[in-house]
Structure 1
């Protein structure tokens, strides 16, 4: 038998639990309201529970997807979600956000191709490698890598990206930036922004940049962010030495792959 997912699992205070659960503790899943039909999807509703977001006067201005709005109604979190949208989500980078981006040393970047197949990657560098061009745009550099171009390939098909930056050291807080990305060669972007770093670290110069037009920017809660401590490390930027790059850490070399089977079959015909 599955446990009730709405039951508390920790020892948080009632005030904190109130932020996590929209219905009384112990309420069954059957007692939660179901979403109303969406005018855009035409789906029928099992119950006559109006969705305050989808198709209503707030639909044009609220951030987020139709799917998240419908689930907010289904699980009774629409009031809490609306409060978060109104209090924490911006369509630009304000001054505290720009300062935060400027001191970040890494960012997690999520992309998807035209079919929605996803990829997540890490971008890192010294503070300042993420460049805030203005309150509506930021850019991050692309360096010489493994040549796969997974993130850039996705962006060429689907410009929507999600970036998460986390301060694990000082303030234990995160910043989400969602928007539309484009790929620009280093020389082209530098014509308009000559102050961009030409060489972030010795032997590590950007080949091109990803410029992101900000559509949503909002905080990531600090509750579950672990505290970390920076340590010194020698980095071998730009190396092709297999061992220095991590070698075959996951022992993947030599394992069967479907595309290798196809290649062998093609050569035998």
Structure 2
């Protein structure tokens, strides 16, 4: 599996340009593109990613319907393969495979790494992704961590080819202090699958017609 194809540098969208012209920000935008938007990861970006324990992930299916997700793991669980490629492991979850399923239809992805605790800065990485088996990626990248999340087995990896990377400024990023995760849920807290669901109505509150439909 070659890891050195030239990644296309994304041009500003027509929507961006139209709104910049309308709001008179074209000059500021051009300065940002010229100074901040990079077609590959800089050494400082690679180091930053290696320290992060979380990332926000955006994908869309073939119809353009979007999904936002969250990934977390030990620092460096998103692995920098080189200045044009990243990879992160996918583990057994709820079985929906929303993000990975979207990638099979539409490879475009966006990642947002956020440092809330030290420098309060963020890094956007946009690119294209593909699903790769664990054995296949390890054959191409022998230095891939053997146990990125102790006790968990990666079902596959998401390999990302970087198209552009740029800073997310510190303005309005809150400062958060890491806290030790409690071993037990707070009393009365619903289990995760039930957290946002509505409780089923009591049988005596269901009309006979709806009860028959339910049966």
TM bucket normalised to smaller: 0.7 to 0.9
User: Corresponding residue for 2:3?
Assistant: none
User: Corresponding residue for 1:128?
Assistant: 76
Task: Give runs of aligned pairs for residues 1-269 of structure 1, distance below 5 A.
Answer: 63-233=11-181, 246-252=192-198, 254=200
Q: Whole-Å Cα distance in 2 between the matches of residues 223 and 249 of structure 1?
A: 32
* Offset at residue 99 of structure 1 (A): 0.2
Give the 3-state SS of the residue equivalent to 2:147 in structure 1: coil
* Offset at residue 202 of structure 1 (A): 3.0
TM-score, with length taken from structure 1: 0.67
Give the 3-state SS of the residue equivalent to 1:140 in structure 2: strand
- Deviations 1:43-67, CA, capped at 9 Å, x for gaps: xxxxxxxxxxxxxxxxx97732111
* Offset at residue 234 of structure 1 (A): 5.8
Going from structure 1 to structure 2, the CA distance change for 1:61 and 1:164 (only over 3 Å counts) comes to: closer
* Offset at residue 245 of structure 1 (A): 5.8
- Select the structure with the greater relative contact order (CA < 8 A; seq sep ≥ 6): 2
* Offset at residue 201 of structure 1 (A): 3.1
- Deviations 1:146-186, CA, capped at 9 Å, x for gaps: 00010011100000000000000010000000001111011
Aligned length: 194
Larger Rg computed on CA atoms: 1
In the alignment, structure 2 segments of 5+ residues that lack a partner are 1-7, 202-212
Give the 3-state SS of the residue equivalent to 1:139 in structure 2: strand
TM-score, with length taken from structure 2: 0.83
Going from structure 1 to structure 2, the CA distance change for 1:183 and 1:161 (only over 3 Å counts) comes to: same
Q: Whole-Å Cα distance in 1 between the matches of residues 132 and 143 of structure 2?
A: 16
Judge conservation of contact 2:53–2:77 (CA < 8 Å) in 1. yes
In the alignment, structure 1 segments of 5+ residues that lack a partner are 1-59, 237-242, 256-264
Give the 3-state SS of the residue equivalent to 1:161 in structure 2: strand
User: Corresponding residue for 2:204?
Assistant: none
Going from structure 1 to structure 2, the CA distance change for 1:254 and 1:182 (only over 3 Å counts) comes to: farther
Going from structure 1 to structure 2, the CA distance change for 1:226 and 1:65 (only over 3 Å counts) comes to: same
Going from structure 1 to structure 2, the CA distance change for 1:130 and 1:253 (only over 3 Å counts) comes to: farther
Q: Whole-Å Cα distance in 2 between the matches of residues 253 and 177 of structure 1?
A: 40
Q: Superposition RMSD on alpha carbons, in Å? A: 2.5
Q: Quick check: which one's strand share is greater?
A: 2
* Offset at residue 199 of structure 1 (A): 2.1
